[in-house]
Structure 1
Amino acid sequence: MPIEKLTYNPNYPSVKDLKKRAKARMPKFAFDYLEGGCNEELNLSRSETDYHDVLLQPSYLKKFNGIDMSTTLFGHRYDAPFGISPIGLQGLMWPNAPEILAKAAFKHNVPYILSTVSTSSIERIAEVSEGQAWFQLYHPTENTLRDDILRRLEAVQCPVLVVLVDVPSFGLRYREIKSGLSMPPKMNISNIFQAAIRPTWGIETLRHGIPSFATLKPYMEKGLDMTQLGKFMNKTFTGRVDTDKIKAIRDKWKGPMVLKGITTEEDIKASIAVGADGIIVSNHGGRQIDAGESTIVSLRKLMATPTYQEKLTMMIDGGMRSGPDIGRALATGADFTFMGRPFMYGVGALGKKGGDHTISMFKAQLKQVMEQLSCEQIADFPETLIR
């Protein structure tokens, strides 16, 4: 399909520009929560820089009929090969961020994934996205809670369920420990001061209310203080996701099911065995294991076995910061890509216009890359990979 004229704020033509602006508008504790990884943040850094080693071959003299960046996932034709990753506590980082991003994703016909621990509810995001938003499940300790969340997803006709598998324990994130945003979270004097010197963030927070785990609200006792909230979260989501738990979800969930956090051949074989429809190769944004490898390196290893792509939709999350990075991931073999931080930078920088701006920016960047490479469609990208 033809690409419409792409427009976005020319003052912020890159993720780097959005990040700089977002840092100036968000309280330090909120920006650190968004920006941080675990331990020394080495894997966080690798997740971005390893993309630079993936090179693509331009082609200029062949006949070229223009581009079509649309692609089909699970029966739905999306307008671009990228979507918005799930992020917890989005409304803390920028007020009303989940709704801003879900609305922008719907407008541009790309997927938005709501996290279990985000700050808008399943029902509200289904409403603003007209039922198009995906959902990422943090597997609860209690099966009754799992089943009720699945019931709610079915009631709003959620199109795709994403099951998170890479949180057998919570990563040690030093920035969060220092700022008080680890569990149990707390607002200390430093955080209150940081909020006070970011008046736009404060005014918007007053408008939209103090952020909370909206999807989980029906399962919480009223009036929990921060310590009690921390205990609730640790009790509710402590436990490893294994194949038995995935099989139980597969038996109940009739729609497409995706496993997020897969990085090894062992786990991808298990994903196929339990009936997953797709995987998202992900290292949780470098927030879980610092000694791990970047997702683009993991993807390259998995793509060495072509039968995996025949059995699963292969997607990737993390580290992409530009249209060329999206192209690198697609050339490496990904069927689709997801990004988290860049969209939160966009909302932090530009508020309610941030989602629309960031999607338009990535479309423009990817369009230029496809024209340089003479890729008429997304399926052409693997032919451009310099091995």
Structure 2
Amino acid sequence: MSKKIVYRYNSKYPSIVDLRAKAKSRIPKFAFDYLEGGCNEEWNLAKNESDFDNIVLKPQYLRVSGDIDMSVELFGRRYSAPFGISPIGLQGLMWPNAPEILAKAAAKNDIPYTLSTVSTSSIERIAEVSEGKAWFQLYHPTENRLRDDILRRLATVECPVLVVLVDVPSFGLRYREIKAGLSMPPKMNISNITQAMMRPLWGIKTLQHGIPSFATLKPYMEKGLDLAQLGKFMDRTFTGKVDIEKVKAIRDIWKGALVVKGIASDEDMEAVINIGADGVIVSNHGGRQIDAGESSINSLIHLASNSSYKEKIKIMVDGGIRSGVDLARAHAVGSEFNFMGRPFMYGVGALGDDGGEHTINLFKAQLYQVMQQLTIENVNQFPERLLKM
């Protein structure tokens, strides 16, 4: 008889759909739209989720099976589950103190949390609350001087994994953000202020933790910048395409694990393998950059089908995962590790300080149940249960 494990979470919110509904009732509309929105008509945003439905798994009920172990070894560390928390910009705008809530929950539960360059907590603070376990996603700065100083700070706190973002040669046209005035930086117009007043708990928490700012970038900003000046600073600092030579320069400097995020083609995959990257995250930036592109899961299916890639680099995926069933599907078609962003923000938006741990346990419980149904013991066996895609 195999040992059964129970993952505890708030039974009022047994799905990501439930968390989303609660979060929407607590987060101001402009901030919720920033979290949810995609680019243009949001076709690719929708495909990120719906294309998972084409992946079908088969159980083998009469198979003798043992204890379930969903842990995964990645870059020299064993994580308790095959998923982590994606980087998201301006997290503290959507729910106050969200980066720290999620980083603490991830560290406690042995999964990776990834801090974005443009999130609202600093490298040093997240390293402290995560006990040095957090990953970092780099928006490549225009100036190498700033890049090198960020890498120095990451090395000082012994960041285990550096993720270089490459899929933002320009910012996507996101109509929801344009209407709400959520450019970089966001502008608080009358409509947004009214929406904030309708979410009093969000307002109280914002006052408690302070107005969100780009904490990691503060050392590089002049003091007392107004919104217009801050906007010019962001445009000046992060305008420019990231090509393979820029990634190679980082590979030459960075001694730890290097992951490239935003890969969706054979050409880019071959390029990052050639410069010695340790992993890729197949992603379309949450459907926020190019509406005519593939869903993340379909890009993964294509890239993971090439066995020569899997022999040389870790292949992970980000985008559209909303359940343990989706996690199972991702592994069945070749993902070695998975990342989710919006579901964890729904968690903290719905449940505040308890939202991170709730969402982690929710995904673990759902994935565990799928593994029981399929009668497998570890995530490497999911491809054996793929029926069609």
Q: Aligned letter for 2:191? A: S
What residue in structure 1 maps to residue 342 of structure 2? Answer: 341
Matched residues in 1 for 2:331 and 2:378: separation?
11
Matched residues in 1 for 2:252 and 2:318: separation?
26
Q: 1:208-287 alignment to 2 at 5 Å?
A: 208-287=209-288
Q: 1:1-387 alignment to 2 at 5 Å?
A: 4-387=5-388
Q: Aligned letter for 1:69? A: M
Runs of 4+ in 1 over 2 A off after TM superposition: 1-5
User: Given that residues 100 and 121 in structure 2 are in contact (C-alpha distance below 8 angstroms), is that contact kept between their aligned partners in structure 1?
Assistant: yes
Pairwise CA distance, 1:185:
2.2
Q: TM-score under structure 1 normalisation?
A: 0.99
Matched residues in 1 for 2:249 and 2:387: separation?
42
Alignment CA distance shift 1:243-1:3 (3 Å): farther
User: Given that residues 2 and 68 in structure 1 are in contact (C-alpha distance below 8 angstroms), is that contact kept between their aligned partners in structure 2?
Assistant: no
Pairwise CA distance, 1:147:
0.1
Any idea what SS the aligned residue of 1:246 has? helix
Matched residues in 2 for 1:211 and 1:184: separation?
11
Matched residues in 2 for 1:177 and 1:244: separation?
33
Q: Aligned letter for 2:10? A: N
Q: Aligned letter for 2:283? A: S
- The share of aligned pairs that are identical, in percent, is 71
User: Given that residues 282 and 317 in structure 1 are in contact (C-alpha distance below 8 angstroms), is that contact kept between their aligned partners in structure 2?
Assistant: yes
Matched residues in 1 for 2:3 and 2:63: separation?
20
User: Given that residues 374 and 385 in structure 2 are in contact (C-alpha distance below 8 angstroms), is that contact kept between their aligned partners in structure 1?
Assistant: yes
Any idea what SS the aligned residue of 1:154 has? helix
Matched residues in 2 for 1:108 and 1:195: separation?
32
Pairwise CA distance, 1:371:
0.5
Pairwise CA distance, 1:305:
1.0
Matched residues in 1 for 2:213 and 2:181: separation?
16
Matched residues in 1 for 2:247 and 2:34: separation?
29
Matched residues in 2 for 1:304 and 1:23: separation?
38
Q: Aligned letter for 1:22? A: A
Any idea what SS the aligned residue of 2:387 has? coil
Any idea what SS the aligned residue of 1:338 has? strand
Matched residues in 1 for 2:384 and 2:184: separation?
46
Pairwise CA distance, 1:4:
4.4
Q: Aligned letter for 2:58? A: Q
Pairwise CA distance, 1:246:
0.8
Q: TM-score under structure 2 normalisation?
A: 0.98
Matched residues in 1 for 2:304 and 2:75: separation?
20
Matched residues in 2 for 1:10 and 1:75: separation?
35
For residues 76-130 of structure 1, give each alpha carbon's deviation from its aligned partner in whole angstroms, at most 9, with x where no partner exists: 0000000000000000000000000000000110000000000000000000000
Q: Aligned letter for 1:153? A: L
Pairwise CA distance, 1:248:
0.7
Pairwise CA distance, 1:214:
0.2
Matched residues in 2 for 1:170 and 1:323: separation?
31
Q: Aligned letter for 1:132? A: K
Pairwise CA distance, 1:298:
0.4
Any idea what SS the aligned residue of 1:386 has? strand
User: Given that residues 185 and 227 in structure 1 are in contact (C-alpha distance below 8 angstroms), is that contact kept between their aligned partners in structure 2?
Assistant: no
Matched residues in 1 for 2:37 and 2:228: separation?
23
Q: Aligned letter for 1:303? A: A
Aligned length: 387
Pairwise CA distance, 1:254:
0.5
Q: Which stretch shows the higher mean deviation, 175-184 or 357-366?
A: 175-184
Alignment CA distance shift 1:364-1:185 (3 Å): same
Unaligned runs of 5+ in 2: none
Matched residues in 2 for 1:320 and 1:37: separation?
15
For residues 174-210 of structure 1, give each alpha carbon's deviation from its aligned partner in whole angstroms, at most 9, with x where no partner exists: 1001111113421000000100110000000000000
Any idea what SS the aligned residue of 1:328 has? helix
Q: Aligned letter for 2:182? A: L
User: Given that residues 3 and 68 in structure 1 are in contact (C-alpha distance below 8 angstroms), is that contact kept between their aligned partners in structure 2?
Assistant: no
User: Given that residues 184 and 231 in structure 1 are in contact (C-alpha distance below 8 angstroms), is that contact kept between their aligned partners in structure 2?
Assistant: no
Q: Aligned letter for 2:293? A: G
Pairwise CA distance, 1:3:
6.9
For residues 318-350 of structure 1, give each alpha carbon's deviation from its aligned partner in whole angstroms, at most 9, with x where no partner exists: 100000000000111110000000000000000
User: Given that residues 304 and 315 in structure 2 are in contact (C-alpha distance below 8 angstroms), is that contact kept between their aligned partners in structure 1?
Assistant: no
Matched residues in 2 for 1:245 and 1:369: separation?
41
For residues 64-86 of structure 1, give each alpha carbon's deviation from its aligned partner in whole angstroms, at most 9, with x where no partner exists: 11210000000000000000000
Any idea what SS the aligned residue of 1:311 has? coil
Q: Aligned letter for 2:241? A: R
Matched residues in 2 for 1:49 and 1:315: separation?
19
